[in-house]
Amino acid sequence: MNIDDIKTVAVIGAGDMGHGIAEVALLTGTRVNLYDVKDEYVERGRDRIFSSVAKLVEKGRVPAELDQAIRGKLLKTTTDLAEAAADADLVIEAIPEIMSLKQQVFGDLDKAAPAHALLASNTSTMSITEIASATRRPEKVLGLHYFNPAVLMKLVEVIRAEGTSDETMQIGMAYAAKQKKVGVYVKKDAPGFIANRVNQAPAVLVTEIIERGEIEPEALDAFVRRMGAAMGPCELTDYVGIDVMVNVSNYFAEKLGSGYGPAKHLLSMMERGDLGKKTGKGYFDWPEGGRPEIDLSKATRKFNFLWPYMVQINEASKLIQEGVVDTMNEVDLAMINGFGAPIGPVAIGRQISKLDLIDGLEFLAKRYDKEIFLPTNRVRAGGHKF
């Protein structure tokens, strides 16, 4: 089997990610069967695709004929999982981040999809090997991890589970390339893969600083905004959802150690139901349909802008030590294309001397009582640059 055999893709889940993953496939002229559990969800996903493609036509980036083809014959919607999978060459799952749910759906897909079909998960953090264990075709199961919004973000982490075959990985990489995405080959399905794992380190750092009351959320966000970022870390956490942040942190803590877990104030916010944008209150108050007001004049002077990069570089070096990626460059590729960062942490790391990096990490590990920030052997040897 090769990439030319992928003619029909089934996308399972028509939510934020699923509709985007379906749209990206449709834009290459691939047939898509879009599934969700209720008519209203699948219709909402379809309408989001139609309006997004219409905007691309308006901007002259997509020919009107392709828009017509998508509306006419390329996109099929259904609430019947077996029907969605029946003629699929590739299935991509984008349902909620709950292992038991994903395993149940993969078990059903295994029965419903043709024997040759590849089954992929868009999970942000979870083990593809565990998901594949619900099927009798682990060699055909892989991770295809898109970033939000899938139409704009270029990264697709192509993830190898324990049983994934070379052929499946090659088709996964070719599928990303066909969509003009940047596919990064993830050799092992370690928690959070590359981009989310590397980002967890600064998330822990920032929440520890806030936990100790050293810097107020507004002062931190104002600082980061004044450095040129479109959104500060606290607003971003509100935007993603305090509950999502807590669940992801708990998952990292369970799999990698308690140091990756959520700070106490996040748990309190979750208990109070202050979940961020979706409830109108998180770190900040969110006006209906708008963004919180951040007073940029309140920018802190207590934050060293290199700290988040330092802990990211350290985390990236762990990925090499654990055999998840081959080179540090792949980490930068992932961070730039997954989150739209202008520059990756490794490129920044190349400008920092080994001693400064080691000193900085030891300082942060001690000050915030976090062993996860202690410099790795690779960093100590200067290998973070390669």
Between residue 101 and residue 120, which ones bind ligand NAD under the rule CB under 6 A?
101, 105
Listed in sequence order, the residues at least 6 apart from 109 whose beta carbon sits closer than 8 Å to its beta carbon are 12, 81, 85, 91, 93, 119, 135
Q: Rule CB under 6 A: is residue 100 a binding residue for ligand NAD?
A: no
Told to check if 94 binds ligand NAD by CB under 6 A, we report yes
β-strand partners of 261:
none
Measure the CA–CA gap between 101 and 339, rounded to whole angstroms: 27
127 assigned to active site: no
Please report, as residue ranges, which positions from 11 to 30 form the binding site for ligand NAD (by CB under 6 A).
12-18
Binding-site residue total for ligand NAD (CB under 6 A)?
A: 21
CB of 317 to ligand NAD, least distance (A): 24
The runs of H, that is alpha helices, within 186-241 are 195-211, 217-226, 233-240
Quote the least distance from Cβ 382 to ligand NAD, whole Å.
33
Tell which one of 24, 95, 151, 210 touches ligand NAD (CB under 6 A).
Answer: 95
Among 41, 175, 284, 309, binds ligand NAD (CB under 6 A): 41
In angstroms, the CA 356 to CA 362 distance is: 10
Please choose, out of 7-15, 23-31, 109-117, 353-361, the segment that lies near ligand NAD by the rule CB under 6 A. 7-15
User: Does the annotation count 157 as an active-site position?
Assistant: yes
| Residue listed under structure tokens 């104030």 | 265
CB of 350 to ligand NAD, least distance (A): 28
- Write the single-letter amino acid at 151: V
What is the C-alpha R_g of the chain? 21
**Least distance between ligand NAD and beta carbon 93 (Å):** 8
From 127, 145, 218, 314, the catalytic residue: 145
User: Hey, what amino acid is at 150?
Assistant: A
The H or E element spanning position 31 is: strand 31-35
Nearest to 18 by CA among 97, 117, 116, 130: 97
Q: Which residues are catalytic?
A: 124, 145, 157, 196
Q: Which residues bind ligand NAD (CB under 6 A)?
A: 12-18, 36-37, 41, 94-97, 101, 105, 122-124, 147-148
